[in-house]
Structure 1
Amino acid sequence: MTTPITRNTAMRLTSEAFVPYGCKVRSNEADDSFSFTVHDLHGQQVLSIENIQSTQYANPLRLAGVIAQARADLQREGRDLDPWAMPYIPDPEVLPEAPPVY
């Protein structure tokens, strides 16, 4: 069994998954979902994913699948992304700190 995660945690993990590109996440309070867009190094939108429902993000394995699919789509377009893996989450309120960017 996996530990459920909150929307805020899911949004944070998603925003960190598309480096070196920019990723903007937006929450939707009306239905407890979120969406995200990925922008290239010139600010052009290269991917938009709408309406990630709680059934997709509360389970870290399902969220990892959504993110992995989005990353694969970008990589098929020839976009290089830094390596990324879903962190092990024993306590969703205490996520591991992101490594410093130099």
Structure 2
Amino acid sequence: MHERRRHRSEIKGQAAELYLQHAQRSFRLQQFVLANEDGLVIAASEPGEDAELLAGTAEIAAASPAIHVQGVELLGQRCVLAARGQRAPDMGAAAAAMGRIFSS
């Protein structure tokens, strides 16, 4: 069987970051983050203040056409996926991927 992913990690946080980085490149996003319900970054396509700002304001900023938000429950905790960019990523697929990553 051919492994489609070149970069993998058994560490959940790193695996989530690798997924978000891949999605960021694929959809030409400026930022893609996974945050907890308090707005704290769990994983981000690019670390830094930009990720923290998006994570902290995702649900409020969702009214913007350039912000895409999807709720996801991980390990019994409500979390949020937030992407910033003109082209919307497949948020359902991203939520499913995070579910797989954090449930394994």
Q: Same fold (TM over 0.5)?
A: no
Which structure ranks higher in relative contact order (CA pairs < 8 Å, sequence separation ≥ 6)?
Answer: 1
Provide TM-score, normalisation by structure 2: 0.32
Provide TM-score, normalisation by structure 1: 0.32
Structure holding more helix per residue: 2
